[in-house]
Amino acid sequence: MNVLLVAAARPNFMKVAPILAVMERRGVDATLVHTGQHYDANMSDAFFLDLSMRRPDVHLGCAGGSHAQTTASVMLAFDDIVVEREPDAVVVVGDVDSTLACALVAAKRNVPVAHVEAGLRSRDRTMPEEVNRVVVDALSDWLFTPSPDATENLVREGVDRGRIHWVGNVMADSLLATLANLDIDAGLSGYAVGRDGFVLLTLHRPSNVDDVATLVRLMGAVAEISEHKPVLFPVHPRTSPQLLLPEVQRILRRAPGIRLLPPIGYQDCVALQAGAALVLTDSGGLQEETTILGIPCLTLRESTERPITVTQGTNTVVGTDPHAITAAASQALAMRDVPRTPPVGWDGHAAERIVTALLSVPAPLDAQRQQPVARSLVHDEARLA
């Protein structure tokens, strides 16, 4: 099998690394494509080293720009690769613009698409990632879901069950493998902190960092929390310019407990999560990782596409209201030692299940791809009648 395996942004690397390792072990001809969507060395290059991944076979160099610019530039560059390599399948992960771009190119070139982390839904179409998820799932031939709720979402949307494969969470594969060889205390010592002695903060979503009023509210809440425990804040490249705004600078000057850090690599991120008393984030990946680690997490968004992290994990969706954030932080810190069990399938073997399905379940022929849509239309017409 000749496969193009696509990575683009930080969360992609943790999903791609274990899949690539299994493909190499099982003799799959995998071409690793890095679109370049994350261009900061600590946001992309460092992850290849931390995850023991080989360097990309193809680097498209499509960095920066608006959603439209990123999607268009990746499509143009990736189309050339598809024509040149003639793959049997394109494997995309997650929900970033590169995921959408590469899935679109493959579908228009009649190359079967596999979507890792399919079926996640926040039901908030103001999130660009939600639009990407819905479209990529509609285009995909293999839909690899990380949790039962993701599978149920696809079934409710009328997706043929033959295309849906529950495989578990491939992010857990990378996290568990990293933990097995990671000295957490040594990692924390590099930041002059100890276990449970700090709060970890990450912010990068446009709705939080591009809207000045929202960012000021969030940083005000973080400043209050930092009066009780220092807050370590690795700053995402898209967030960094916003922290220079006068309104935000005034908050930071009054909050010495907030420590701004440059972007960090994967191993450092895992060490900081594992050692934190609390994690504040708008990242989907950190919601999952803290669930596995058993660390309290407050999601600074109004919704989550990963509800299993709330029902079976340590995550609480608190929104952006400062009073709600500080109250939830106090409660979460008080319940620090409540045990949690990761969801079923978050066991370190998701990549094996993904590759097994790719090799054993053929992509449907063009005629077969039309059948689930036709059946869905017939069903809807009967129901409405």
Give me the catalytic one of 204, 236, 349, 379: 204
Radius of gyration in angstroms for the set of CA atoms belonging to the chain, rounded to a whole number: 21
**Residues contacting 359, CB < 8 A, separation 6+:** 1, 26, 28
Q: Do domains 2-167+349-384 and 183-334 have the same CATH topology?
A: yes
What's the pTM value of the predicted model, to 2 decimals?
0.90
Predicted confidence at residue 40, as pLDDT, reads 62
Task: Please classify residue 245 by burial: count the beta carbons closer than 10 Å to its beta carbon, then call 0-12 exposed, 13-18 middle and 19+ buried.
Answer: middle
Predicted confidence at residue 385, as pLDDT, reads 32
Predicted confidence at residue 377, as pLDDT, reads 35
pLDDT lower than 70: segments of the chain: 38-45, 336-339, 364-385
Token pair belonging to 45: 């290059």
Predicted confidence at residue 384, as pLDDT, reads 31
Each residue's pLDDT tens digit, 271-300:
999 999 999 999 999 999 999 999 999 999
- Rounded Cα gap, residues 295 and 276, in angstroms: 7
Predicted confidence at residue 338, as pLDDT, reads 66
Task: Please classify residue 376 by burial: count the beta carbons closer than 10 Å to its beta carbon, then call 0-12 exposed, 13-18 middle and 19+ buried.
Answer: middle
The third-level CATH classification (topology) of the domain covering 2-167+349-384 is: Rossmann fold (3.40.50)
What stretches of the chain adopt beta strand conformation (E)? 2-7, 29-34, 58-59, 89-93, 113-116, 142-145, 164-166, 199-202, 231-234, 258-261, 278-281, 297-299, 315-317
Examine the residue annotation and report whether 204 is marked as an active-site residue of this protein: yes
- Rounded Cα gap, residues 270 and 108, in angstroms: 38
Domain spans, the chain: 2-167+349-384, 183-334
The third-level CATH classification (topology) of the domain covering 183-334 is: Rossmann fold (3.40.50)
Each residue's pLDDT tens digit, 253-267:
999 999 999 999 999
